[in-house]
Structure formats: structure tokens, C-alpha cells
Amino acid sequence: MLKKIHTSIDTLYPEMVNIRRYLHQYPELSFHETKTAKYIADFYEELGLPYETKVGGNGVIATLKGGKPGKTVALRADFDGLPIQDEKDVPYKSKVDGVMHACGHDGHTATLLILAKVMKSYQEELPGTIVFLHQHAEEYAPGGAKPIVDSGAIDHVDAVFGTHLWATLPLGVLQTSKNVFMAGADRFEITIQGQGGHGAYPHETKDAIVIASEVISQLQQIVSRRLDPLETAVVTVGTFHAGNSFNIIADKATLVGTVRYLNADIQELVINEMEKIIKGTCVSNDASYTFNYLKGYPPLINHEREAALVLEASKEIEEIHTAEEVIPVMGGEDFAYYTMKKPGAYFFTGAHKEGNPYPHHHPKFDIDERALPIAAKTLIQAYFAYQS
């Protein structure tokens, strides 16, 4: 039956591409994906599958109960866009000013919708139940996965699988991990309050720019000098805002950045070290500060058995020539909440588009759409593998 399913997926490839390109033209930001959620719900309405809307926010979940007994497995796709201006010169370029699908979530959605359409025609032969989990707000913490989990929507599920179309990975390559696969991803904001004044009289001021610069420099020592070299973490200051004139010493500076880690103990160490550095620097410069630390997505930890099933399942897909277990990447993913609740695994499906070297979250981001059916086949192979 699986070969027939693969053929059916290939047959519906043009429709899969059309869905992806339509969604690419009409992206919506995290927590505002009402039209996209309706599009997904309308698809299941026409397909005749039972579904729920507004799950944990804008989530949509459809259910396909097979004609044979078996386990219940959720397959997840996210569907939010990013606040980026689309700069690609393609017919399906975003029509929403300042918003685009720069991470492949449109492709994830198209993959899952067509997979649902295919599997509907095999319903009577299907063992178990497929839960098609369409998640909102992956891009912006607190994200959509946690409220979906908290809603109880997957309490009855036995396992969860998901994939990310990975634009920097060649077509035909699959990657996953049997343990930690993606990093925990946090956000912080530091405000340094000094005392402004005339640029000609620095001795009468407390220069917030100089103080903030010292903080930035010291923060880099957390990873290089305060962390065990065998542990992994990233401390990045992404924005630095201060001052508004060339001849005025700024009284306030704001730093915003991210912390990435693989081990929960390291997260606490980094927070404590940051606090000490910020406080010490400001005290020594007679300045005050505020330090707001937002704990974002936890590390995504795959379950060993489920990740092994993905690797084994990939052998049945002729388009996949390389399936490998890899070390963790430092990007974050709120799929982590699903594997904290249930057994499951997440994997990357290679989707690099020749001639398009741009990474995720770039204004010219794009994918090789031939990766979509590969993702669909891998997800359903994993589903069947889990049934045995």
C-alpha cells in the first residue's frame, strides 16, 4: 500500500505546489494567522474530515480514523510567516507588504494538506488514526505548540512526528538526531541608565554607550571563560540602540539579544553570569540597569526509538539518497513541547534550491518544491513504522 501512497503523493504534486505558492503570496504573522487557519479548515471541510479550529489559539487539527485498529500518531506542520519584506523575483512573491514565508512553513502546510487528501482515499485500509496538527505561531515565543499541548489536544496521541524543509540542505538528504536535535532559544533585553550630557564634557556624564559596550564585551566571556569547553551555548547581542545626536552623550542604551543552549543547567548558569556581569559593570560605572530575561523554547529532544524509525523509514523513499544522524543545531523550535509531552521525532528534509544560496529568514529565501513530496512520504512512512 505504501508504494501506492507514494504514487498518489506524486500525482498530487502540482496541487501541492499550487497550495504552497498561494500561501506564500498571503503570509500572516505569528498569532495573526486567521485567514491561513480558515484556508486550512476549509480544505478539511471540503475533504470531509472532522477538524477543530482555534486550538490553543489559531491552531487547526484534523483527524483521520483508519478502518483498522492501531495507534494514534500526530503529524505536525506550522503555518506562520515572518516580518520580512520578500525580495524574490518570482510569480508567487508575497503580496503582503513587510511579511513573507521566509522559513518554509507554507511548504510544511501544503505537504500536510495533500498528505491528508491522499490518506483519505486509503482510510479503510489505514491502521490507527492520523492527527493532522497544523500549528500557528512557531516563529515567536511563547509560540503555538505549548498552548496546543496545554489544551489537551494531544493527550490521546501516542506519538508525534514533524519535519522542517531545510533550505541549506541538499535535496535528497534527511537529517535527525536520536537525542538533542535543536537548541533552547531565549531572549533578553538589557537597559543601561547612565547620565547624558554634552559631547564636549564627558567627565560630567555617565556614558551609556561606553557602559553598554563594556557589558557586550564582558558577555562574550561567559562562553569563552565561564563555561565548560565541553558544553555548548551562544550569547548574542542582536541590537544596540542608544543616542540620537553626534554631539550628545547618551543617557540610556538598550541591548536585545538571544541565548542558545543544549543543557538546562547551562541555561541557569548563563542567566546568573549575565546578571553578575551587568550588575558589576553598572555598579563600577555608577549606572543603573534593568535586565529582562525571557525563557523561550526549550531544547528539542528527540526520542531515540522514534528518531530511529524516521531513519529506517527514509530507506523506503527513493528520492532520499542520504539519511544521517547529526549533532544538534543551535536554532530553536517549539516542536520541543510535543516531545516533552509524547514520544516523537523531528527531522530536516533537504530543500536547497539550486541558484538560491539564501538561508532561512533571508528576504530572498526560497525552497526546491520537489522536497515537499519527499517530506510527505517520510512522514507517512514514519507513521506506518510506528504502527508495527
271: part of which helix (H) or strand (E)? helix 264-284
Q: Please give the single-letter amino acid code of residue 111.
A: T
Cross-strand pairs, 46 = none
80 flagged as catalytic? yes
- Who's near 125: CB < 8 A, 6+ residues apart? 1, 66, 67, 68
Q: Is there a contact between 366 and 88 (Cβ–Cβ < 8 Å)?
A: yes
The secondary structure of 283-306, three-state, reads: HHCCCEEEEEEEEEECCEECCHHH
Pairing of strands 344-350, 159-166: parallel
Q: Is there a contact between 81 and 100 (Cβ–Cβ < 8 Å)?
A: yes
Q: Please give the single-letter amino acid code of residue 194.
A: G
Among candidate residues 80, 186, 207, 334, the one labeled active-site is: 80
Q: Is 245 exposed, middle or buried (0-12, 13-18, 19+ CB in 10 A)?
A: exposed
Dihedral, 41, 20, 12, 323 alpha carbons, nearest 10: -110
104: left (phi over 0), alpha (psi -120 to 50) or beta: left
Among candidate residues 28, 106, 138, 334, the one labeled active-site is: 138
Question: From the CB of residue 216, how many other CB atoms can be counted at a distance below 10 Å?
Answer: 18
Q: What DSSP state is assigned to residue 353?
A: P
84: nearest Cα among 371, 335, 366: 366
CA distance 257 to 127: 47
Residues with catalytic function? 80, 138
